[in-house]
Amino acid sequence: DETQAIVENNISTNNKITLVNLTGKGVGFAIDTGHKEMLKLLEKPFVSVVMAGDGQMDPEDLPSLIEPIINNQSDYVKGNRFHHKDGVTEMPTLRKLASILLGFLTTLAAGRHFTDPQCGYTATSHNVLEEWNWSKSWKNYGYPNYWLIELSRKSLRVKEIPVKCIYGNEKSGLKMFSFFISVGLMMLIMHHKRCFSMLFSKSVAPHTILSFTAYAIGWIAILPEISTDLERELTNSFFSKIVLALFCWICAHIFDRLAVKSRTELRINAQT
């Protein structure tokens, strides 16, 4: 697009505009750079908003996006196109299906329910940016998923706000297969890192222990080398191994979500 040219034309008349020019570093890296520039340039408190220059994000949604942070109801707010009254009829079918699948996977990885994790229209409190580990932050496509998982690990408040879905005739250069492989692997690793960090935390929640126990039993059920006689008898008599494993993993996810909720509430109470 012509975002850079437009910004350059306006810099001479508006000294509040800062142009940061990056090439080939990745979309996540570019957004991280913008956040870090905000930390350097602005007085606190402030809210850092990501609005892409492709015309797919409606500026009229901005007030409702930053309001929960201003009112101290959330640390991070993201848009949700599926919740908007106009729906997602303009979204291409393939992208819609991909968003639904990624919503399911991100929900599993983050321990929180998300239906539109790929929407990059976000608002972030300066408090979040001050404690963010920029050296480990995800630099490429899939950065919204990384942020949501990491925000859960840090027990920070996240809120979704309906935003308008806008699509034109533009085509994405994203290669879907390689994207799912790289982002899926990242979410798998981040999920386990988050869960183990919660398990070995000094303030470990009972739900986390129950989640880990159910998760481990699920694997034990399908690995004959470590299955007990009782488990082998149960799977042979009543359940197939895969059904028992899925049941255990569903329980693990439920306990995980309760643990994330509990830790977030504890953090809120500690700050009041």
Contacts of 235 (CB under 8 A, 6+ apart): 221, 227, 241, 244
Q: What are φ and ψ of residue 168, in 5° steps?
A: -110, -140
pLDDT tens-digit readout, 74-91? 999 999 999 999 888 888
pLDDT at residue number 149: 98
Give the separation between CA 175 and CA 180, rounded to whole angstroms: 9
Q: Nearest-5° angle of CA 99, CA 100, CA 106?
A: 80
DSSP character at residue 23: -
Tell me: cis bond preceding 144? Omega within 30 of 0 counts. no
> Which residue segments constitute the domains of the chain, with CATH numbers given?
3-194 (3.90.550), 201-271 (no CATH)
Is residue 231 predicted with pLDDT exceeding 60? Answer: no
Q: 101: how many CB neighbours lie within 10 A of its CB?
A: 12
Alpha helices, DSSP H only, in 71-125?
93-110
CA distances for 198 relative to 155, 236, 268, angstroms? 10, 34, 17
pLDDT for the residue 90? 83
Q: Measuring CA to CA, which residue among 172, 128, 173 is closest to residue 147?
A: 128
pLDDT at 104 over 90: yes
Distance CA(50)–CA(18), nearest Å, equals: 14
CA 82/CA 161 separation, integer angstroms: 10
Per-residue pLDDT at 141? 87
Q: pLDDT by residue (tens digit) across 198-217? A: 999 888 989 999 999 999 99
pLDDT single digits (tens) 144-203? 999 999 999 999 999 999 999 888 766 666 788 888 999 999 999 999 999 999 999 888
Separation CA 198–CA 189 (nearest Å):
14
pTM of the model: 0.88
Copy the structure tokens of residue 171.
């085509």
For 30-74, the pLDDT digits (tens) are 899 999 999 998 889 999 999 987 778 999 999 999 999 999 999
**What letters, b where the CB count within 10 A reaches 16 and e where it falls short, cover 207-217?**
bbebbbebbeb
Confidence (pLDDT) at 226? 55
Q: Given a cut of 80, is residue 230 above it in pLDDT? A: no
